[in-house]
Amino acid sequence: MASPQELSDFLAQIERRAFKQAAYAVRNDHTALDIVQDAMLKLAGNYSQRPVGEYPMLFQRILQNTIRDYFRRQKVRNLWTTLFSSFSSDDDEEERDPLETLRAQDDDGRNDPRDQVERSQTLAIIEAALQQLPPRQRQAFVLRYWEDMDVAETAAIMGCSEGSVKTHCSRATHALAAALGAKGIGL
């Protein structure tokens, strides 16, 4: 049984990694923060009496389920938005300036603009290649190589066997290498 201080210490320790994982999945920092907070509240509310050793696996499972719930809600919301937008005419839309929609990136002025452009283009290609992977392969790849989890932890979080995790990771790695190689990026 964990004390409130142990729970608090665990949440403080996992906060940054969980945020990065959620931000990578949903591609929105504010939404990722909400997802992480929801996952932390679920862990504290429902599992605070569990031993501290069970927290990492429980939290990862809760975080993954919260991310899936977000995408399910988005799918339904997008369906209704699409249906309602079909009723509006083209005259109803405002003119939008594309420059106003660009997000300002944090820049400390130390990087060469060419390097920044190359880096952002490379990251965009990698992210697009990751998005083309099937969901289970993408999940296994991110947990194993982004979150640096071992095969057993990844299998427990994904709810599958260790052999399945290895298969998903292998297929994801080969698919990414082929996709990036086609774009001229060597690994």
Number of domains into which the chain is organized: 2
In this prediction, residue 111 carries a pLDDT of: 57
Positive or negative: CA dihedral 127, 129, 133, 138:
negative
In this prediction, residue 61 carries a pLDDT of: 94
Residue 56 buriedness (CB in 10 A; 0-12 / 13-18 / 19+): middle
Contact 141, 133 (CB under 8 A): yes
pTM across the whole model = 0.48
Residue 183 belongs to domain spanning: 113-187
Which token pair is 161? 């066997």
The per-residue pLDDT for range 102-158, each reduced to its tens digit, is 443 444 445 578 877 877 887 788 788 888 889 999 999 888 887 878 899 999 999
Q: Does residue 17 form part of some domain?
A: yes
Q: Does residue 172 form part of some domain?
A: yes
